[in-house]
Amino acid sequence: MNPRLSYWTIAPEAVNRMMSINSYLAASAIEPSLRHLIGLRVSQINGCAYCVDLHTHEALRDGETLQRISCLVVWAETPLFTERERSALAWAETLTNITQTHAPDDVYEFVSRQFEGRELIDLTLMIASMNAWNRMAIGFRRQPDKRKE
């Protein structure tokens, strides 16, 4: 696939506004390890190569294990994730696939047992924001950066 537009250079104001949401979320009560898992899982569901690469790299850099990253696509089938992580991942999947799921009550009840009030709002904003980033990167065919590792 060939890149279409360099949205980050053509419309830096738009990207800066989206980045301000990221800054808000980085200061939230949602722990960094969970933010990485959510960003990565949403990007996997959406098929965003750029974001999968970016969030995998960041998660590993910040101490996430290769085993958990590798098993993230099957998180519901493994005991590697905490109940808090599982509820957040279930919420992320249901909101990312909203046209099929319509955010069912059982998933909401599951996530709301682990996240209350502002935390749940922040988690939901995190999922929505990641979906927006994915749509920018996929729509304009942003490619993963080549890394020397």
In this predicted structure, the answer to whether residue 94 has a pLDDT above a threshold of 90 is yes
Domains of the chain plus CATH, in order, are 20-139 (1.20.1290.10)
Contacts of 35 (CB under 8 A, 6+ apart): 25, 26, 126
DSSP per-residue string spanning 38-65: HHHHHHHHHT-HHHHHHHHHHHHHTT--
- Of residues 1 and 85, which shows the higher confidence score? 85
Q: Which amino acid is at 79?
A: P
Mean pLDDT computed over 27-47: 97
Rounded CA separation 125/29 (Å): 13
Instruction: State percent of the chain over pLDDT 90.
Output: 93
User: What pLDDT is attached to residue 119?
Assistant: 98
In this predicted structure, the answer to whether residue 132 has a pLDDT above a threshold of 80 is yes
Range scoring the smallest mean pLDDT among 3-17, 53-67, 122-136:
3-17
